[in-house]
A = this chain, B = another copy of it.
Amino acid sequence: MTVTLKHVAERAGVSRSAVSRCFTEGASISSGTRAKVERAAVELGYFPNVLARSLTTRSTRLIGLVSNNFHNPVFLQIFDLFTRRLQDRGLRPLLVNLSEETAPARSVQMLRQYSVDGVIVASSTLPGGFARAFREAGMPVVHAFGRPADRPDVHVVGIDNIACGRIAAATLIARGYGRLGFLGGPQAASTTQDRMAGFLAEGSRHPGAGTVIRFADAYSFDAGRAAMQAAIAEGCFAEAWFCGDDVLSLGAISALRDAGLSVPGDVGVIGLNDMEMAGWAGVGLTTIHQPFDEIIAASIDLVTAMPDDPARAPVSRIFPCRVVERGTLRARC
């Protein structure tokens, strides 16, 4: 049935060790036996079983990719990049969907059972405790899109959300908007808190700029729309809104337009992420670009480097964001 080391060894007339060495990088083997083994291997269609190998090498090349964001289109881009970059390095993503999970225990246990080489938690809404739980179970872990800190519990890769809030406010103020609005995602998420803090801090530096604050229940179109509808119904008004995410922005814009307001004519909107859809013709969302490619590459770098230096203190790697102008803010005045 399955062809193993032994079959190849017999066919090639060498010992099992010889065959094994033929397939391990940098092992000592003569070109003669190597040729014999390789011929037998291709004739039999043999390839070593990674899982059996992992028993002794203690490396499965499996990486747990853990997320709970399966409704925000930007995560399709993120999964695309993660899977490709991991594949490029010969690593395999074991996808874990935490959508309905409130405690880390089960996923920790499961990833331990599969002895993954590392875990990447890719989410801005999972509480920090999830990533920490993996670390406590002894797995290399990095939290991508997590909350940076001076002394983080685990490696964090992402953006400076406070700075993003500031950039958003500064951009709106530079456009001459007076009354500013912040429409955050779930209030408990650290990203929401930080973006708001930066936004308010920058706003308060400009005496003319008042600020209103709203939250959506989730990073989703419907939540953004509902939140903005509620704001309108309650007479809560701003000349321009910073929404904590692109898909939230689209929901908000839909509510604004339904209320007879023009974007950007009557109200400005700036998002965050710069997902693919933001650039679609007819969408044209002005937003803050998050450098996904770098964040993802850095996450993989960190998680793969961890076994080499287990004592290393967790670090935060922060990448700068930039505004990308499209059509939902009025022109600079």
Q: Could you tell me which A residues sit within 8 Å of B by CB distance?
A: 1, 47-52, 54-55, 60, 62, 65, 70-71, 73, 75-77, 79-80, 83-84, 87, 92-97, 99-100, 109-110, 112-115, 138, 221-222, 225, 250-251, 254-255, 257-258, 276-277, 280-282
Q: Contact: A115 with B75, CB < 8 Å?
A: no
CB distance from A261 to the nearest CB of B (A): 13
* Known A54-B51, A83-B95: A225·B281 in contact at CB below 8 Å: yes
Q: Contact: B47 with A51, CB < 8 Å?
A: no
Which residue of the partner chain B has the closest CB to A90? B110
CB distance from A317 to the nearest CB of B (A): 24
Q: Contact: B276 with A257, CB < 8 Å?
A: no
CB distance from A141 to the nearest CB of B (A): 17
CB distance from A332 to the nearest CB of B (A): 25
A80 contacts across to B, CB distance below 8 A: 70-71, 97, 99
Whole-angstrom CA separation of A281 from B277 in the bound complex: 16
CB distance from A143 to the nearest CB of B (A): 20
Q: Contact: B79 with A95, CB < 8 Å?
A: yes
CB distance from A204 to the nearest CB of B (A): 34
Apart from A79-B95, A84-B100: 20 A-B pairs, beta carbons within 8 A: A47-B109, A49-B113, A50-B114, A62-B114, A70-B80, A71-B77, A75-B76, A79-B79, A80-B97, A83-B95, A83-B97, A92-B94, A92-B110, A92-B114, A94-B94, A94-B95, A250-B280, A251-B280, A254-B280, A255-B281
